[in-house]
Structure 1
Amino acid sequence: MPQSSQPVGLPAELLSSTAMIAACRARDFGRIFKLANRAGFSNARIARLVDITQSRVGEVITRRQIKDMDVIERVADGLRIPGHMLGLARRGWESPPTASPAHADTITAPPAHADPVCTLPGVDLDSILAVAASPRLSPATVRALHSSIEDYWRRDDEHGGETLRPAVVGQLRYVVDLLKEAGEGEYHRNLHGVAAELARLAGWTCFDARQYSQARTYFAQALQLAKAVDDRPFMANVLSCMSLQATYEDRPADAIALSTAAQDCTRWHGGTPRVMSMLSMREAFAHAAMNNRTATHAAIKDAQSHFGRISDSDDDPSWVAYFDETKLIVDTGIAYGRLGEADAAEPLVTDALRRGHEGNQRGRAFHSFWLARIQLQRGNLDQACRTAGGALAIASAVDSERVTGHLREFHQLLLPHRREPAVRTFEMQLRAALR
């Protein structure tokens, strides 16, 4: 068959197959390429369509995954995989083409009367949003977008944000495009809020992966989007994320400045007691990083005071709902741990872990390593190794470089004790977990 008569992209029956839908949802590009091979797409042809080398196609099929966003988009465009299947925004070529017998095999959008949910079985909420052809907005559109963000955060807690980021960035681009169609008014403001939340989430996933420069770019975008609609509490939320990142980057002076700016930003602009408590705790982390005991204890006291004023009538923004009593307790324990006040820290972190972290696997792993570190500060080497060993299984199931970093730091702290039986046992568990 001459090349000009070959289908532009993958055949519709392959795209609607259960195997392809599952492979796309998992972003298993090796599997996607294998399925394309079976449909008559050689490695050379895939390489040409996707604009990568043929050897790279072979590497992806055998062992190497694709994580670069630009390459993921080229796969979608080259093989004509609808954006929603890969967690991307709707692609430009997905507009319904003019009917033509010469392109009978080309993938076309479903007829206007078709139900897009039924066209491809198994699609989730993100897919439904991305496949929507009309830019017309409604309250349902905004509610659905917020539901999608809630689901992203849930999956971020469970699995980490590394593999989630391409979908978040894709939906951020989709919402920014919607903003161009929204005009002025309430929908325009609501979409700015949605875009700001997605930009913050994109920044957070980069921060969790310790990709700090990229995180700052998305946090800056979130600030600009929130500023455009004068959402001061959300601006404070973003500043608090930047403060936490500065603490991790060993820039405690910047962390303090950002945390106090966050509090100033929202104090007279809708900062509920729960919001102010969370922001005070971020300030405590920053002071603890500078080993300023007086300022750390003062910030913790402020956080507890604000939290004590929380009432059912507060109009809390949804993004601060996670900051409950258990979170206040564990963060207080971690702040004490940063100061080296292990006797005060251990019962607090232990209590928080006992209360549970339903659905938050990363949080449980993160706090378990902090508990192990605090126990080591108290000289309880055997107990610290047991705690860290128990956290390994959780940590290995979460794609979070931040958690991995805490594991590495704990392992470094064990070096002076490496001949001890408890340390040797932990290192055996560590090697097994890393296989």
Structure 2
Amino acid sequence: MTDETDLPAWAERIRHERRRRGWSQKQVAVHLFKAAGNEIALAEFESVLRTIKRHEAGKGHPRDPYPLLYCRVFEIPETKLFERPAVPEATTDDCADDDANSVSSAALPWLWGAGQTADAIYDITKSDLMLNRREAVKALAITAGLPLVDPVQRWLAYPPPVPSPSEYGGRIGLDEVAQLEHAANVFRTWDDQHGGGLARKAVIGQLNEVADLLRDSHPHEVSVRLFHVMAQLAKIAATMSWDCGMQTAAQKYYVMSLQASTPGEDKPFGASVLASMARQLLYLDRPQDALELIRLALDGVRSTATPRLRAMLHTREAWSYAKMGRPESFKRATGNAKDAFSEIGSHDPDPDWIAYFDDAELAGVTGGRYLELAQHDSRFAGDALDHIRQAVALRQRSSMRSLALDQVGLAYAHLLTGDRDEAVTLGNAAADAAGQVQSDRVRVQLREFYLEIKARKDPIMAPLEQHIRETLAR
């Protein structure tokens, strides 16, 4: 056995980064598959696990794509992990602080002025439209920890900047703004129905056009509504980028959406952006950072949020606790979400951007969190099953991405309760549903279900394993 004192420095660092997170080598393998997303093909799970063991034993320097994937998983640039030049989107100084364990805030455009925000979004979208998607997914890692949370706190206290009014009017009037608002709603519907792969470039192009309009001056009402449209489009672009496996681009657009919501004079929408940023961090196993963002969001809209928005924020809070393995805190936050949702009435009009959070979404997100708890404690499997069944029954069939997530979760819940026959039947339906949407989130959840099936080595489930493997390959 290799003496740890004789290990190469990079092998020691890989082992250290795994142990400091409390991960097993199998958990690292799962994270590598997540980091690979749609763009990078990895071998079978057992082969990847053997490769990780060889790397930690110092037997051969990791070959592509493993250096990139390790850096994504550990959120550390190559200069620090492997002592070699970093990929283009990171710099040597990006992770000088071990405690931060993330790319520095310099990777994100923290610009709170109205004009600065419009200029930054114009430049970012212009570059994005010319960027090859395969290049975009090679970005090192998202920003997390203090470099992310500290700047976000400025959203809480920053007063809305007053856009410079124009004496003579701008290039467009309120009728044109209304058309742009309608376009944003159409893009949001597309994203909800099909995932982000189909329309991302169209959204980026529209966002670029709105940012260009805001480089001119307009009457105050036109300017405020344009900033709000820009915030909505940036959030949609972020979600679509995430669905394409472009995590760094997604976070950048979320940040720009948050900042555009300030001159857009819409604090509740900014809170919804923070909830989306938190969801991304939860997906990447950063529950403490996600919880910090949700607390900021709740503080920011304590007196202005509608019951529907409060319910959604509390589900993100509950999600954070579930990820942290705190079931009692999870149950308390889930109860707060249900209480807030029960207050929804006709006297509380909700904007279009939060309308998606309905009975089906509440049941689905709650069931999904019970499912995460059930993976460590089977006592929660029944609760997961009940909630996800309700979500599937209530879900609109046009919401294909959410329905696919529900169906994968339902099959997984049946597997954890020991109902293999139902797990196989529903698992095949879930694989078919997953194949109809372009969403990295759906693929990751399906892959986790696949890894659970594979680990059981049950002959009854072998055809389902093959079906899912073929779906993921496509």
Query: Which TM-score tier does this pair reach, normalised by the shorter chain?
Result: 0.5 to 0.7
Counterpart secondary structure, 2:215: helix
1:241 match: 276
Q: Tell me if 1:303 matches 2:363.
A: no
Matched-pair contact (CA < 8 Å) for 1:154–1:359 = no
Which residue in the other structure is 1:181 paired with? 216
SS of residue matched to 1:198 = helix
CA distance in 2, matches of 1:304, 1:148: 32
Q: Determine whether 1:220 maps to 2:255.
A: yes
Q: CA deviation at 1:378?
A: 1.1
Whether the 8 Å CA contact 2:364–2:387 is kept in 1: the answer is yes
Could you report, residue by residue, the CA deviation over 1:153-202 in whole angstroms, capped at 9, with x for unpaired residues? 22112221023111111111100111123424100000000000011111
Tell me which residue corresponds to 1:97: none
Whole-angstrom distance in 1 between the partners of 2:217 and 2:178: 16
Structure 1: runs of 5 or more not aligned: 1-67, 73-133
Q: CA deviation at 1:430?
A: 2.9
2:465, 2:371 → 1: CA distance? 24
Q: Distance in 2 between matches of 1:209 and 1:302?
A: 33
**Aligned position for 1:381:** 420
The one-letter code of the counterpart of 1:70 is M
- The count of corresponding residues between Structure 1 and Structure 2 is 307
The answer for the alignment partner of 1:69 in structure 2 is 129
Distance in 2, Cα, partners of 1:164 & 1:339: 34
Matched, 1:360 2:399: yes
Q: For the Cα contact (< 8 Å) 2:177–2:225, is it kept in 1? A: yes
CA contact (8 A) 2:196 2:242 kept: no
Code of the aligned partner of 1:333: G
Contact 2:261 2:267 in 1 (8 A): yes
CA distance in 1, matches of 2:337, 2:468: 36
User: CA–CA distance in 2 between the matches of 1:254 and 1:348?
Assistant: 26
CA drift of 1:403 comes to 0.5
Which of 234, 240, 246 aligns to 1:199? It is 234
What's the CA shift for 1:419? 3.7
1:266-311 superposed Cα distances (whole Å, 9 cap, x missing partner): 112x201111001101111111111111110111010011111111
Matches of 1:378 and 1:426 in 2, distance apart?
Answer: 17
Q: Which residue number in structure 2 is paired with residue 323 of structure 1?
A: 357
* Alignment-derived partner of residue 342 in structure 1: 381
2:391 is matched by which residue type in structure 1? A
Instruction: Output aligned runs, 1:120-199, within 5 Å.
Output: 136-199=171-234
Bigger RCO (CA 8 Å, 6+ sep): 2
Report how far residue 135 of structure 1 moved. Answer: 6.3
Of 208, 226, 251, 2:286 maps to 251
Partners of 1:226 and 1:217 in 2: how far apart?
A: 14
C-alpha contact (below 8 Å) 1:246/1:255 kept by paired residues = yes
1:313 aligns with 2:352: no
Higher-Rg structure is 1
Q: Is the 8 A contact 2:197 2:438 kept in 1?
A: yes
Question: Could you tell me how far apart the structure 2 residues matched to 1:136 and 1:230 are?
Answer: 21
Query: Partner letter of residue 239 of structure 1?
Result: L
Separation in structure 2 between the aligned mates of residue 239 and residue 316 of structure 1, nearest angstrom: 18
Normalising to structure 1: TM-score of the pair? 0.67
2:468 is equivalent to residue 430 of structure 1: yes
Deviation at 1:431, TM superposition (A): 4.9
Structure 2: runs of 5 or more not aligned = 1-127, 133-168, 375-379
Q: Could you say which residue in structure 2 is the equivalent of 1:26?
A: none
5 Å-filtered alignment, 1:37-52, equals: none
Letter in 1 for 2:409: W
Measure how far apart 1:71 and its partner are. Answer: 6.0
For residues 421 and 282 of structure 2, what CA distance do their matches in structure 1 show? 29
Letter in 1 for 2:462: R
- Which secondary structure state, in structure 2, belongs to the residue aligned with residue 227 of structure 1? coil
- Does structure 2 retain, via aligned residues, the 8 Å contact 1:209–1:402? no
Do the aligned residues in 2 keep the contact of 1:334 with 1:349 (CA within 8 Å)? yes
Instruction: Decide whether the 8 Å contact of 2:261 with 2:270 is kept in 1.
Output: yes
Residues 1:356 and 1:219: Cα distance change in structure 2 (over 3 Å): closer
Give the aligned residue type for 2:192. D
Shift of 1:394: 1.6
Q: CA deviation at 1:402?
A: 1.1
Q: Is the 8 A contact 2:294 2:317 kept in 1?
A: yes
Supply the AA of the counterpart residue of 1:163. Answer: L
Verify the 8 A CA contact 2:191 2:236 in the aligned structure 1.
Answer: no
1:394 correspondence with 2:458: no
Alignment partner, residue 91 of structure 2: none
Distance 2:206 2:243 in 1: 19
Identity among equivalent pairs (%): 33
Contact 1:137/1:182, CA 8 A, preserved across alignment: no
* CA distance in structure 1 between the aligned counterparts of 2:396 and 2:449, rounded to whole angstroms: 22
Secondary structure of 2:397's counterpart equals: coil
TM-score by length of 2: 0.62
Structure 1 position 357, deviation (Å): 2.3
Is the CA contact 1:200–1:222 (under 8 Å) kept in the aligned structure 2? Answer: yes
Residues 1:314 and 1:286: Cα distance change in structure 2 (over 3 Å) = same
Distance 2:363 2:470 in 1: 33
Asked whether the 8 Å contact 1:204–1:215 carries over to 2, the reply is: yes
